[in-house]
Structure 1
Amino acid sequence: MIVIVDTLFWPATLVLSKWVVYISMIVVLGSFYWQHAVGDVFTQRIVLTRRGLGYAAFAGLVAVAVHFFSQVGMLADDGLQGALSSFMIQIVWSTGAGDATCWRAAGFVLALLALCIPKQLSVAKSAEVLLHVAATAALVGAFLFTGHTADMSPIFGALLTTHVLIAVWWFGALLPMRKACRTDSVEVLLPWLVRFGEQASVLVSVLVFVGGILAYFIVGSLHNLLFTGYGWLLMAKILTFCVILLLAARHKLSLVPSMQSSRNTQQFVASLNIEIIVAAALLLVTAVLTSLVGV
């Protein structure tokens, strides 16, 4: 039993810490974007409070550190003490994993700095935007240093960046959308939901197209898709993503139009809660892929 626990400890820690990194990144960057994009339209803040965003950014920063030392510990294969080996730390730090750790840590620190700017300063708005953009560049850019795409041509890096940015834009809207449904009137909410659905129709199509290209070149063949661990995980990710697509289609085609007559958001919020849970499951599958398979 002890051997099994020891064997699973580092892989589980790797996956869970990467999962927290993804969730924190989406919450922080999504809140930043939607605050600037539509925050002034609503009577209440549709994103987390500064304290809530600070907790999310700090959780992401801690998860980045845990993920790095988990990589060291897994490579050292010498229990907890192996994760603190200076020699192994130097080895991992000199790889793409070290670069990704540096960029992710910088991204969350920049996000925290943006949250610390006093609102009463005349340059507060401009400084916040600048730091938000820098945090986004650092957190999204970190994806380029690890996985199979790190060894591929720059065009694949551009495709991956596009894929991640659209995912952050989409999933980052879920919590603000849920909060807006609970705090604002249907009259205020509906134009945003309609516009979001129209934008999503285009951007999600790009997301699927780009993701398909990346998967095709990474998997390489139908045999690898059907008979390898990565292929099975990728199919699980695709199936989970299809569930989210069906939920999003239901929102756009049925629930949002019905709100115009019912003036009630309860059914939409219930479905949105399901989408949030499925999105979290999708991120968990992605964390397994990127942590244990190396994509």
Structure 2
Amino acid sequence: MEALATLSVWQVGTIALKTAAYFTGLSASGGLVFILLFGRHLAGEDTTVICRMTARLAVAGVLASLAGFLWTAAALGSGFSSAADPLLLSIVFESRGPALMLRIVGLVLVLGMLIRARGFGLMVAALGGALVILSFTPGGHPSALDLTPWPQLLIIIHVTAVTYWLGTLLPLLVISRRRDDERLGTTAKRFGDFAVYIVAMLILAGALLLWLLSESPTAFIASNYGQLFLGKLLLFALLLGLAALNRLRLTPALFTGDTRAPQRLKASIRLEIAAVITILLVTATFTTLARPPGLN
């Protein structure tokens, strides 16, 4: 499509940094959700590894968010020196400052889980995770539709669902490295049980947002935004297929003594992570390059 064929270096950088911010921010918050939901079923060593991984993702999320902020200023001035221009920085901060500060504060609070992976530490981290999720809702196309608070609420539901899904996959990969099929199977089964409701949330929120963003099906499909959005839906369908395979075939096999089941599940989890990253990349692309045809 035309929008992709004419990508500039600045747009490529913006998309890459957006994707990095999405992945690290949502993964850090999701890792916290995983500890809250499944921590009691984990071995102490696994909890420690997952907490440290979540902390590293939180730090990376802060760096990616700050880099994106500076890159936007540089792009406005068409030069790296513009990243230090007070005027351009103030312009970028005026539009993105609240979300940026919310995300950075949230990610720093997520590090509270390192203080103690329960009690006060988790309470502080949970507050941080909520702030990170909220940081992805201000601004963007849906908020410009003048239909608040409904579009914002739908985005919160959507981002929360993605946070759970993405944040659970990385810890599951950590657990899969241990030769404890029963513990892995129990955790994967609990994830699948919750995922049924998460899928329903994603589909409902996505369908309603799609309806709000499109003035007509024909115009939507013909637009650059619509074509990229449909690409995202195809990737999501692939993700659902992998999730169904995990729930119906690979996870039950862990309880039957199938020696190949752990490796198969690990490979499937890696494919899911790759699919989610690709979905985040597509999301970053169409929010950077295109506008919904129904946006006034």
Contact 1:18-1:287 within 8 A present in 2 as well: yes
> 2:248 aligned with 1:253, yes or no?
yes
Alignment of structure 1 residues 1-295 onto 2, 5 Å: 8-43=8-43, 44-45=45-46, 48-76=49-77, 78-95=78-95, 97-112=96-111, 114-115=112-113, 117=115, 119=116, 125-151=118-144, 152-264=147-259, 265-293=262-290
The size of the alignment, in residue pairs, is 281
Contact 2:142-2:152 within 8 A present in 1 as well: yes
Identity of aligned residues (%): 27
Q: CA deviation at 1:11?
A: 1.0
Q: CA deviation at 1:84?
A: 2.2
Q: CA deviation at 1:184?
A: 4.8
TM-score normalised by structure 2 residue count: 0.87
1:59 aligned counterpart, secondary structure? helix
Cα distance between partner residues in 1 of 2:65 and 2:290 = 18
Q: What one-letter code is carried by the residue in structure 1 that aligns with 2:215?
A: G
Q: What one-letter code is carried by the residue in structure 1 that aligns with 2:263?
A: Q
1:183 aligned counterpart, secondary structure? coil
Cα distance between partner residues in 2 of 1:292 and 1:217 = 19
Moved more, 46-55 or 212-221: 46-55
Contact 2:31-2:51 within 8 A present in 1 as well: no
Moved more, 285-294 or 220-229: 285-294
Q: What one-letter code is carried by the residue in structure 2 that aligns with 1:147?
A: G
Q: What one-letter code is carried by the residue in structure 2 that aligns with 1:106?
A: V
Structure 2's unaligned 5+ residue stretches are: 1-6
CA deviations 1:75-123 (Å, max 9, x no partner) are: 33x311223221121122112x2221121121222223x1552x4xxxx
**1:3 paired residue number:** none
Q: CA deviation at 1:147?
A: 0.7
Cα distance between partner residues in 1 of 2:190 and 2:220 = 36
**2:4 paired residue number:** none
Cα distance between partner residues in 1 of 2:219 and 2:9 = 28
TM-score normalised by structure 1 residue count: 0.87
